[in-house]
Structure 1
Amino acid sequence: MDASIREEILSILDRANDMTLATVRQDGYPQATTVSYANDGLDIYFGCAADSQKAWNINRNRKVSLTVNLPYANWGEIRGISAGGLADCLTDPQEIARAGQLLLEKFPQGIAEYASGALEGVAFFKVVPKVISVLDYRKGFGHTDLVGNAPGLTPAWDHRG
């Protein structure tokens, strides 16, 4: 992945607070929900109720899509990412603690009881993006750069030729 594209992705992830997460329901329909997240590089962490629909969806099918967008005043400033990747429910206490710490650093107000991992009924997830599309209208209306986040991966859905 090109270093400047990676920096743009990290800038967007670091500056935004929420993402729209799409999972696949048991009936095959996609389900999109908004969740707050924290990231460690390109790895994205979030927590939710362990018995929520999105948790059930991920535990049945790890494939997810997500979008993250920065606020903008006009269309010429639109910046964001969309990504497809794999999500995993964290079970290792050290990984759960790491996710909780990242979330606590990003959202210090009112999240301490959730981020500790001690709150019953909360599950923490890690999303590893495999294909990322960077949207940057500053480079032109609808401009995107498609990149893979896995060795040798090329975005199969690049329709531009």
Structure 2
Amino acid sequence: MNARNTEVLDWLRAHHTMTLATQGEQGVWAAAVFYASDGFDLYFLSKPGARHSGNIARDGRAAVTIQEDCSDWREVKGIQAEGHVVELSGEAAGQARALYGAKYPVVGTLAGAPAAILQALAKVHWYRFVPERLYFIDNSRGFGHRDEIDCRDGRP
């Protein structure tokens, strides 16, 4: 793995919220969700009745963005990615929950979680966004600078 990929993976681990864009019968939709990463794969949870979950059930193609909030264009850094989302079940869902729980302890240590969290977690499904192509935007290297990472040729 090259140094730039390592830098991008570190950046992914340090952030928390991605915007997930999906397409469905009602048109395009974007939703912000917390994520945990394993390599370039991004794991998230959602209610099956959410609009983006319904869209994913019909068509798993999706795009995501993750970015820092800044006021100076030279500070803009972030991810743009295209790929697909799969709903997880069984052991894969358990592994996603463990990964997510390591990043968000309130999910990982249910013994001390508030009742509202326990009730919400009982209703969610687990998903994995698998990028095919990912761009890391880094304006500190020049306006509009982005590095492409082709995720189709194997996992980092």
For Structure 1 versus Structure 2, the TM-score category normalised by the shorter chain is: 0.7 to 0.9
Partner of 1:105: 102
In the TM superposition, what are the counterparts of 1:142-161 in structure 2 within 5 Å?
142-151=144-153
Question: Shift in Å at residue 73 of structure 1?
Answer: 5.8
What is the alpha-carbon distance in structure 1 between the residues aligned to residue 35 and residue 107 of structure 2? 14
Partner of 1:79: 77
Please say if residues 22 and 29 of structure 2, whose CA atoms lie closer than 8 Å, have aligned partners that are also in contact: yes
What is the alpha-carbon distance in structure 1 between the residues aligned to residue 2 and residue 71 of structure 2? 28
Partner of 1:155: none
From the superposition, tell whether residues 106 and 74 of structure 1 become closer, same or farther in structure 2 (CA, over 3 Å): same
CA deviation map 1:10-29 (0-9, x unaligned): 122111100000000214x2
Question: Shift in Å at residue 147 of structure 1?
Answer: 2.4
What is the alpha-carbon distance in structure 2 between the residues aligned to residue 18 and residue 112 of structure 1? 21
RMSD in angstroms over aligned alpha carbons? 2.4
Secondary structure of 2:125's counterpart equals: strand
- Return the structure number with greater helix share: 2
> TM-score, with normalisation over the residues of structure 2?
0.85
CA deviation map 1:6-57 (0-9, x unaligned): 1132122111100000000214x21000000001111110000011111110
Q: Percent identity?
A: 30
What is the alpha-carbon distance in structure 1 between the residues aligned to residue 11 and residue 121 of structure 2? 30
From the superposition, tell whether residues 77 and 46 of structure 1 become closer, same or farther in structure 2 (CA, over 3 Å): same
Please say if residues 12 and 79 of structure 1, whose CA atoms lie closer than 8 Å, have aligned partners that are also in contact: no
Question: Shift in Å at residue 5 of structure 1?
Answer: 2.7
Q: How many residues align?
A: 148
Secondary structure of 1:109's counterpart equals: helix
Question: Shift in Å at residue 107 of structure 1?
Answer: 1.1
Partner of 1:56: 54
Tell me which of 108, 120, 123 is aligned to 1:121.
123
Partner of 1:43: 41
From the superposition, tell whether residues 73 and 8 of structure 1 become closer, same or farther in structure 2 (CA, over 3 Å): farther
Partner of 2:92: 95
What is the alpha-carbon distance in structure 1 between the residues aligned to residue 132 and residue 45 of structure 2? 20
Secondary structure of 1:50's counterpart equals: coil
The gaps in structure 2 that reach 5 residues or longer are none
Please say if residues 132 and 150 of structure 2, whose CA atoms lie closer than 8 Å, have aligned partners that are also in contact: yes
